[in-house]
Amino acid sequence: MNINKDKGNLILPDYVAKDILSSKEAAQYLDLSESSLYKLTSESKITFHKPNGGKLYFKKSDLDNWMLQNESKSIDALGEIMLNNLKVRKDV
């Protein structure tokens, strides 16, 4: 991201407002190299679209879901889950 120093405005990358991203834009969005992104696609670890066997395209929502997988819960969140499970068992 760049900041226009003359006006103090934040200049966002073009892909921020788009729902469908090219490989280059997707790599920037994920903060990965393009080769790392291609490796993820070849290993079927990330969802992509390849219309007519051409270029790869990515839905931003799919990229968001990929980034948010394998969540690690905090100790507080785990404690709350345990308490809720104990309450449910007590009610049964």
Q: Answer yes or no: pTM beyond 0.75.
A: no
- State the maximum Cα–Cα separation within the chain, in Å, rounded to a whole number: 65
Q: Per-domain residue ranges for the chain?
A: 2-91
Give the 3-state secondary structure of residue 7: coil
Each residue's pLDDT tens digit in the chain (92 positions)? 554 455 667 888 878 888 999 999 999 999 999 999 999 999 999 999 999 888 999 999 999 999 999 878 889 888 888 888 887 766 65
Q: Is-contact 49 62, C-beta < 8 A?
A: no
Is domain 2-91 annotated with CATH 1.10.1660?
yes
